[in-house]
């Protein structure tokens, strides 16, 4: 959530930054008008409350000084006090209603892009930062897509998953299930060694949690809701991990907090039909190891670079070619102010595909979820900065291994770093 004070004091600059996102005009005028009405009501209420308190003291003073409690002077004060209380009882619900309307509008605004985020209208204007592993790109040009490899090896089946659920689900079988499990363990071991604390959070989460991290209200149609419990299937472990600290005030000495978690993730992928209808790239249910950081605002930019390196380390250990893109303003996620995407090379399609998205959200999520910290010797509190990134999407990693490590005889080599986890060198 954006700071209403910042909007009120710098509406032109906030509007210009929002316009950079290129997703339609976000009109700040209704927000400013509501805030003005709310502040006027708050001022009136404060003045009435102050007068009401003053009258209460005056009545006591008059009676103590000898005035008749039932006399005209005291009765006049009491009548004025009753009149003020009646007005206050009318103003308080009006102010509460205005506050709710204002918050509802603020929740629809995306985060502001950072000044260093490249300006652009779409993913076509993302900026490539670097590439790694060109020497590991397979030389053969007749690569099979991973779904064909997996079906030939008998390690996953899509048709049977449709019988159990519907399209865009997969059943992993034998070595396929073992490979998925091996990847999860490998990723968690790598990230805990890098300093992250492993968490196993709830998979069902409430609306307040989704609102805090920015999935609600904007992306309700992309999530699976469990009626009538006000619980949703988690779209990413970013949500439960960040919300573990919702409505808390931390000590500055507790920062930074690094967390990682393996969870299944569930997404409707609304608006994506017709894209990646085959294979492991775009499923309704997929496994992911997520990285989340809660940090001091002064360190969040450095923490983002470190987060990208933590995610990249998995690809490098598996010797999977990848590139890093800095997303332009038109391709930023709703809650992000700056994002780097990691894209892994998939030989069958001859292109890089996203496997991790690492974002700095500044205080956007922390403000929505009221996650603050207090520094020793200083008054007041500050909002933490939150960061998140995949470390990595497991199914897409499996797809990349199958395609990059396929052999001419139909077998698939297992990356050396993964062999101890899987207990075999070849599929």
Hey, which residues are catalytic here? 267, 282, 354, 357, 396
- Strand pairing of 248-251 and 371-374? parallel
Cα(116)–Cα(327) distance, integer angstroms: 11
| Distance from chain centroid for Cα 408 | 42
CA distance 410 to 391: 29
| Residue 299 to residue 297: CA distance in whole angstroms | 5
Give the integer Cα–Cα distance in Å for 55 and 63. 12
Q: Say if CB 118 and CB 25 are below 8 A apart.
A: no
Residue 74 zone, left/alpha/beta (φ > 0; ψ -120 to 50; rest): alpha
Residue with tokens 């006399």: 71
Task: List C-alpha distances in Å: 2 to 14, 292, 307, 320, 361.
Answer: 9, 21, 24, 38, 11
Question: Residue 160 gets which letter from DSSP?
Answer: H
CA–CA gap between residue 204 and residue 232 (Å, rounded)? 5
- Give me the helices (H) in 267-375, please: 300-317, 364-369
Cα–Cα distance between 179 and 398 in angstroms, integer? Answer: 8
Backbone angles phi, psi at 204, to 5 degrees: -100, 130
Q: Give the number of other CB atoms < 10 A from CB of residue 395.
A: 25
């Amino acid at each position: 959530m954006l700071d209403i004070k910042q909007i009120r004091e710098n509406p032109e600059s906030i509007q210009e930054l929002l316009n950079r996102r290129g997703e339609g005009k976000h009109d700040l005028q209704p927000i400013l008008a509501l805030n003005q009405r709310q502040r006027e009501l708050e001022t009136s209420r404060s003045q009435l409350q102050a007068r009401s308190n003053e009258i209460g003291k005056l009545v006591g003073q008059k009676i103590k000084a000898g005035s008749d409690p039932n006399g005209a002077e005291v009765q006049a004060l009491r009548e004025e006090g009753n009149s003020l209380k009646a007005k206050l009882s009318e103003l308080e619900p009006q102010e509460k209603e205005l506050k709710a309307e204002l918050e509802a509008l603020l929740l629809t605004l995306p985060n502001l892009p950072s000044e260093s985020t490249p300006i652009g209208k779409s993913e076509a204007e993302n900026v490539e930062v670097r590439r790694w592993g060109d020497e590991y790109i397979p030389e053969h040009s007749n690569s099979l897509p991973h779904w064909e490899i997996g079906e030939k090896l008998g390690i996953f089946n899509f048709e049977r998953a449709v019988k159990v659920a519907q399209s865009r689900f997969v059943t992993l079988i034998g070595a396929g299930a073992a490979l998925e499990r091996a990847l999860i363990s490998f990723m968690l071991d790598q990230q805990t060694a890098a300093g992250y604390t492993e968490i196993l959070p709830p998979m069902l989460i409430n609306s307040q949690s989704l609102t805090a991290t920015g999935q609600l209200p904007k992306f309700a149609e992309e999530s699976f809701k469990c009626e009538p419990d006000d619980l949703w299937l988690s779209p990413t472990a970013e949500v439960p991990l960040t919300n573990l600290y919702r409505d808390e005030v931390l000590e500055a000495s507790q920062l930074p907090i690094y967390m990682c978690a393996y969870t299944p993730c569930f997404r409707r992928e609304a608006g994506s039909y017709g894209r990646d209808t085959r294979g492991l790239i775009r499923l309704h249910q997929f496994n992911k190891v997520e990285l989340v950081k809660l940090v001091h605002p002064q360190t969040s930019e450095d923490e983002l670079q470190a987060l990208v390196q933590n995610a990249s380390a998995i690809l490098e250990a598996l010797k999977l070619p990848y590139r890093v893109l800095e997303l332009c303003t038109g391709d930023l996620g709703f809650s992000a102010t700056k994002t780097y995407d990691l894209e892994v090379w998939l030989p069958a399609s001859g292109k890089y595909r996203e496997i991790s998205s690492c974002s700095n959200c500044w205080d956007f999520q922390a403000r929505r979820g009221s996650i603050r910290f207090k520094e020793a010797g200083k008054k007041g509190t500050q909002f933490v900065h939150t960061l998140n990134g995949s470390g990595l999407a497991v199914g897409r990693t499996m797809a990349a291994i199958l395609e990059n490590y396929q052999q001419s005889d139909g077998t698939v080599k297992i990356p050396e770093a993964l062999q101890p986890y899987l207990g075999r060198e070849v599929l």
